[in-house]
Structure 1
Amino acid sequence: MDTLAKQIVAEVGGKDNILSLVHCATRLRFKLRDSGRAHAETLNNLPDILMVLESGGQFQVVIGNRVAEVYQAICQVIDLDDEAPLAGGTKKEGLLSRFIDVVSAIFTPTLGILAASGILKGLLSLALVNEWMSETGGTYLLLFVASDALFYFFPLALGYTAGKKFGGNPFTAMALGGALTHPLSIAAFNAAQQTGAPSLDFAGIPIVFINYSSSVIPIILAAWASSHLEARCNRILPAAIKNFLTPLLCLSLILPLTFLLIGPAATWLGRLLADGFQILYDLAPMLAGAALGGLWQVLVIFGLHWGLVPLMYNNLALLGYDTMGALLLPAVMGQVGATLGVFLRTRDTRMKSLAGSALSSGLFGITEPAIYGVTLPAKRPFLFGCISGALGGLILGYARSRVYSPSLPSIFTFSQLIPSSGVDFTVWGAIVGSLLAAGLAALLTFFFGLPKATAGLASTAAEEAPVVAEPTSTFQVLSPIHGQTQALNTVPDPAFASGVLGNGVAILPHSGRVVAPFGGHVKSLFQSCHALVLVADDCTEMLIHVGINTVKLDGRHFRAHVRTGDSIAAGDLLLEFDRAAIAEAGFDMTSLVLICNPGCTQVQSIPTAEVEELAPLLTVSR
């Protein structure tokens, strides 16, 4: 784990290039000083990393279920102080990027406990409906308090995370959240509800008390205002008194401002958002279900789903239920079904193992391992999952299904769909829509989702025979490039030279061509066309990488003659590139031919100084 952490830190540009780092359920979210210093391609090729992408102003490294362990290891490597951001610095970003970054940083630390609280609430509802517990019994009351505590006092938790994100004292913002949910504040609200008019004032200004329990927007805005006041106070106050005087001024000024202005305005805005969404939903619930069911996982890929998270919690706080959280269930089950289809269809033992692991994670609501490791690389399974999710969402929209507690869409969400009156049509609609999404995606993927080579079927007349190498076998790889060979450890790139990306050989090209070194298929072609991954008929997997750091050319001077998924025969032209133009642009033309299979016991290069196209190059032993 320490080795992986050091590799990630090095490939994102080093500690001094990291402005901040947080993690969610499956990915590390870096804010970098200069994203141009990060080597996304190198990270993408590390076996423990599922995918790297830039979205919402963040450099995101998708790890999977072990992300928390990797995060802790990186914190040790870079001496990250959990109470403060890393080296300062600013970078101009768009409004959407800033919004996504703020929302993800505030809500990410609470997702696990919120999901646990929501699941416990759902299970308690199920217990009441089936009369397994009594609503007045001690067991139920104790578990209900456990499930409701975080959501009831949500402003405290959000005050802490928002205070950290905005650069203020998180405990000052937490104190503001505590004041919003203090028993005296709730009592004043209840008194105002009975009389119908404000019962108290502040300096002659009537106070409009609102029940801020479970609210989201008021405390975030209050924490933002407090952090700005805190920064100004710290600049002008003497060091001897600012440690206590700054929090004193923040509490004394921001809290009244919150009760008098920020809170009512934020509550009005939250109500406007909730009512606005409900109006749109009521106009076309089936269309809303199809849109969210089909597009949610696309938003997840780019990290844009965070923009909808506050709206879900806002709906729960103000309406007592949320339709959006229910509509996401078929989106998740669609990818789960597609992953199941891959698991049942593929004969590749590595892919079957990955799909099996991702399948279990997806059932519990974590779909990133399924998306990045299984369905998205194969393309069609991901598409089938989205289509099936849209059809399932259409059914949930028709049934007007809704959740009644914070939900991370998973198999546990079914218990969170049950209203106090018991199981009804909304619940059955959600079950039918989710099962349809999972079943249809699995069937489509099983029959149409994988090319024959990926599925492990022979392309000869004996199509029933699996294409699996013998446990002890030798496979000779021909050279895809004409050029001068050199040892891998001499390559001026530590990731390649160390062999962490695979064993093989380096070639300095004498021509501008890359041809297929064996029969098989193209597993993936990089968008910049400078590299591609091939899989042989015996499942040998090869990375061909033309030049060092040529991903920065963004496809200039490269021309691809194949696409991802294409079948290939030895000698087929794969790529053409302009050697002179690439060298003139300042890039090293040293190219890599690497064997990526983790099961290979030995990769030997044929001892020769110069190699022709399709001449013997490597011997791979398992």
Structure 2
Amino acid sequence: MATFSQLAPQIIENVGGSENIQHLTHCATRLRFTLKDAGKVNKDALYKLPEVVKLVENPGQFQIVIGPKVEQVFAAIQASLGGQTTADPAAVTQGSLVNRLLATLSAIFTPYIGVLAGVGVVKGIVVLLQTLNLVDPHSYVFTVFNALASGVFVMLPLFIAVTAAERFGANKFTALALTAAMIFPLTDPGIPGEFHFMGLALNVKIYGGAVIPAVFAVLFLSYVERWLKKVIPELAALVFVPCLSLIICGFVVFTVIGPVADYVGVGIANGYAWLYNLSPVISGALLAGIGQIFVVFGVHWGIIPLALINIQVNGYDTIMAMFMSAVMGQFGAAFGAIFIARNLRDKQIAISASVSAFFGITEPALYGVNLKYKMLFVFGSVGAALGGAITGLLGVKTYSFLPVLNVFELGLFSGPDSKMIYEVLAIAVAFTVPAVLTIIYGKTRVLVPSAGPGLSGDLSR
């Protein structure tokens, strides 16, 4: 931790100092800063720091790609800042609409990506236990495994409540109370599924795992809270702001926001399904082929809500099945680079990048190897497109959300209309094709690294 303790102040200094940081969060591989003045960033100095792989600039957000050690670096920076990295509501209003949306999605979903990835592995174990008939589905062991694998996704609005409250400037405990109320009808069999109120048919048992309703519920809560704090005397605010916030938001959410947001979610899922079904093969090839471009620009977490919505509405998702091939394509290219490395350092970089990609983290492979030698990235994309086409052709689906794509979650591709072996075939093609192309290409010509900060070396023989 001593290394990270030394690194943190240097990062803070070179992004313009603590006073220039409005908000800081992280995903699986990146530090994501909202800065007051991006012009104060010293990019050359940042590139010289250990652990810094790449800098990615988006209007409204400055990203530093660290890799698997990002959580330790984030913790060290947070300690250096005295823990003052919570969201400033003003930060939400910066940048274009698209960039604000992406920044908001990142802030809401990335803090618990690791937990969702871990739960995905547990869910894969549950599926394998069922598929192979290794345990009685009514046994204690299976019940515990199933609870661990399913509880997070049913209670997902509670996770959203915490991060959305931080993003929108609402009280996180009031947000938790509001989203808990949305989930509560699922826990009581005595509550009817549908009510008729003011001529409307309202279903109160639709918010388990709900994404859009939970986000908009907390957003509305943030406005109600701010208004109530202005009109309620400070002496009474402790009790009556949360009390009135819950009453007002509760009825509005159950009557208007929840049903409308649910219809929006259904519409999004149906719209995606319509586009996908026009040609699953072309859709699979296209999305898998360009999948890692989203990672390059740091906007890949914007896919998360769509995949979650598909799971909630349809009970399955096809996007992550395609993106598994996108990951394996770049993995294959980086793996092939091991065999054409000219020196020990380049071989070590390729090995390290390949290990990270095997576990679903592709940034080290992208920035350390594949983008350095552009054809390797192209080979990875070609392999990904072929794998994605196979997933579309064979109708591969995942029956649980997969935020980090690796072989440990393959069990989740088995279900009523999909088989794990189909996804295995797809990722085998996605991996093998770029690995072979990389080796052939590297053996027959000199590879010249692309120009750019941090991009140097020679993998050619």
Normalised-by-shorter TM-score class: over 0.9
- Following the alignment from structure 1 to structure 2, what is the Cα–Cα distance between the partners of residues 395 and 96? 32
**2:446 matched to 1:525?**
no
Q: Which has the larger radius of gyration?
A: 1
Aligned to 1:345, the other structure's residue is in SS state coil
- Following the alignment from structure 1 to structure 2, what is the Cα–Cα distance between the partners of residues 51 and 74? 18
Structure 2 equivalent of residue 430 of structure 1 = 423
- Following the alignment from structure 1 to structure 2, what is the Cα–Cα distance between the partners of residues 206 and 106? 30
**2:232 matched to 1:229?**
no
CA contact (8 A) 2:328 2:427 kept: yes
By how many angstroms is 1:379 displaced? 1.5
By how many angstroms is 1:449 displaced? 4.7
Structure 2 equivalent of residue 275 of structure 1 = 270
**2:329 matched to 1:334?**
yes
The amino acid of 1:414's aligned partner reads L
Shift in alpha-carbon separation, 1:430–1:532, aligned structure 2, 3 A: closer
By how many angstroms is 1:124 displaced? 1.1
CA contact (8 A) 1:210 1:264 kept: no
Q: Equivalences for 1:184-199 in 2 at 5 Å?
A: 187=189, 191-192=192-193, 198=195
By how many angstroms is 1:167 displaced? 0.8
CA contact (8 A) 2:108 2:160 kept: yes
Structure 1 equivalent of residue 162 of structure 2 = 160
Shift in alpha-carbon separation, 1:105–1:87, aligned structure 2, 3 A: closer
CA contact (8 A) 1:163 1:227 kept: yes
Q: Which runs of 5+ in 2 are unaligned?
A: none
- Following the alignment from structure 1 to structure 2, what is the Cα–Cα distance between the partners of residues 103 and 419? 29
**2:57 matched to 1:57?**
no
- Following the alignment from structure 2 to structure 1, what is the Cα–Cα distance between the partners of residues 157 and 207? 8
**2:6 matched to 1:3?**
yes
By how many angstroms is 1:44 displaced? 2.2
- Following the alignment from structure 1 to structure 2, what is the Cα–Cα distance between the partners of residues 13 and 449? 41
Name the structure with the higher helix share. 2
Structure 2 equivalent of residue 379 of structure 1 = 374
Structure 1 equivalent of residue 214 of structure 2 = 219
By how many angstroms is 1:209 displaced? 2.3
By how many angstroms is 1:91 displaced? 6.1
- Following the alignment from structure 2 to structure 1, what is the Cα–Cα distance between the partners of residues 12 and 89? 14
Aligned to 1:181, the other structure's residue is in SS state helix
Deviations 1:288-314 (A, max 9, x none): 101111111001111222222101000
The amino acid of 1:310's aligned partner reads P
Q: Equivalences for 1:291-330 in 2 at 5 Å?
A: 291-330=286-325
Name the structure with the higher strand share. 1
- Following the alignment from structure 1 to structure 2, what is the Cα–Cα distance between the partners of residues 23 and 363? 21
- Following the alignment from structure 1 to structure 2, what is the Cα–Cα distance between the partners of residues 534 and 380? 15
CA contact (8 A) 2:374 2:450 kept: no
RMSD: 2.4
**2:397 matched to 1:402?**
yes
Q: Percent identity?
A: 34
Deviations 1:404-456 (A, max 9, x none): 011122112321101158xx6x43332111101100110111121588666xx
Structure 2 equivalent of residue 114 of structure 1 = 116
Shift in alpha-carbon separation, 1:450–1:114, aligned structure 2, 3 A: farther
Deviations 1:100-151 (A, max 9, x none): 0010100001211111112211221111111111111111011100111110
By how many angstroms is 1:254 displaced? 0.3
CA contact (8 A) 1:321 1:403 kept: yes
CA contact (8 A) 2:285 2:388 kept: yes
**2:46 matched to 1:43?**
yes
By how many angstroms is 1:286 displaced? 0.7
CA contact (8 A) 1:285 1:398 kept: yes
1:131 to 130, 133, 157: 133
**2:348 matched to 1:345?**
no
By how many angstroms is 1:81 displaced? 3.0
Structure 2 equivalent of residue 12 of structure 1 = 15
The amino acid of 2:57's aligned partner reads E
Q: Which runs of 5+ in 1 are unaligned?
A: 455-520, 540-564, 568-622
- Following the alignment from structure 1 to structure 2, what is the Cα–Cα distance between the partners of residues 87 and 216? 21
CA contact (8 A) 1:388 1:438 kept: yes
Shift in alpha-carbon separation, 1:271–1:65, aligned structure 2, 3 A: same
Deviations 1:275-295 (A, max 9, x none): 111111111101110111111
- Following the alignment from structure 2 to structure 1, what is the Cα–Cα distance between the partners of residues 158 and 45? 41
2:409 to 390, 395, 413: 413
By how many angstroms is 1:30 displaced? 0.2
Aligned to 1:148, the other structure's residue is in SS state helix
2:241 to 233, 246, 251: 246
Q: How many residues align?
A: 457
Shift in alpha-carbon separation, 1:437–1:368, aligned structure 2, 3 A: same
- Following the alignment from structure 1 to structure 2, what is the Cα–Cα distance between the partners of residues 15 and 87? 17
Deviations 1:322-358 (A, max 9, x none): 0111111110000110110111210322221122122
Aligned to 1:262, the other structure's residue is in SS state helix
- Following the alignment from structure 1 to structure 2, what is the Cα–Cα distance between the partners of residues 110 and 410? 17
The amino acid of 2:421's aligned partner reads W
CA contact (8 A) 1:18 1:87 kept: no
The amino acid of 2:423's aligned partner reads A
The amino acid of 1:439's aligned partner reads T
Highest RCO, 1 vs 2 (Cα 8 Å, sep ≥ 6) = 2
1:365 to 360, 369, 379: 360
Aligned to 1:80, the other structure's residue is in SS state coil
Moved over 3 A (4+): 86-92, 183-189, 204-208, 449-454, 531-536
The amino acid of 1:11's aligned partner reads N
> Given the two structures, how large is their TM-score scaled by the length of structure 2?
0.93
Structure 1 equivalent of residue 281 of structure 2 = 286
- Following the alignment from structure 2 to structure 1, what is the Cα–Cα distance between the partners of residues 41 and 238? 38
- Following the alignment from structure 2 to structure 1, what is the Cα–Cα distance between the partners of residues 89 and 136? 54
Shift in alpha-carbon separation, 1:434–1:205, aligned structure 2, 3 A: closer
CA contact (8 A) 1:80 1:86 kept: no
Shift in alpha-carbon separation, 1:176–1:353, aligned structure 2, 3 A: same
Shift in alpha-carbon separation, 1:532–1:22, aligned structure 2, 3 A: closer
> Given the two structures, how large is their TM-score scaled by the length of structure 1?
0.70
By how many angstroms is 1:75 displaced? 0.7
CA contact (8 A) 2:53 2:454 kept: no
Structure 1 equivalent of residue 146 of structure 2 = 144
CA contact (8 A) 2:288 2:388 kept: yes
